[in-house]
Structure 1
Amino acid sequence: MYRYLSNSARGTILGRWKYEGQIGFNDYNDVLQPGDILFYDWNSDGRFDHAGVSVGLGYDSTYGRTGNVQDQHTYDRFHAIWHLSPYNQKRTTTTIVAIRPK
């Protein structure tokens, strides 16, 4: 899905974030809108391991904070904070890319 959206006129890459240095890893991300796809590369090796869908601002009850949240099917996450830092043991090596489908 990443290749399809990023290598065609069907999607626009919005940004790329790395936990290293925590640049851009705020709970609130001004770039994200509902429907944007978040691709997670746990090892920053260029292969995306997982994806989630941004659903807008919300409350992550597990994290206990409000911010941009996403939903995914793994572990049945509902409204998890977009960067997944509280849940991701590999957060220091994770790269996240957001794409807006057209």
Structure 2
Amino acid sequence: MSETLKLNICFGGGAELLFDKIKKREVELPALKKYFPDCQSGKWTIKELLVWLKDNLLRERPELFLQGDSVRPGILVLINDTDWELYGELTYELQGNDTIMFISTLHGG
């Protein structure tokens, strides 16, 4: 699969501060094999998207967004306005024009 994949990425609840204050952005992911030559599935998943976000959009304090190969607890992930838990979380295969939203529920006090 050599096609690019267009997505809408949204950040809220303070998560946008880690991404240059971007609240919404359309992104075009490169062909999966170009970015992840060893990937066997041939399809972008949320797991690969998180790596791509870290490498291309995340500007500061990755530990506030990522923990291991997933998002940090306290970051709500929505796929087309639905909790990602209903879609299989990291294994969800991204579709063209999906909207992926990351909302931080972590607040200082």
Q: TM-score, normalised by structure 2?
A: 0.35
Larger Rg: 2
Q: TM-score, normalised by structure 1?
A: 0.37
Which has a greater percent of strand? Answer: 1
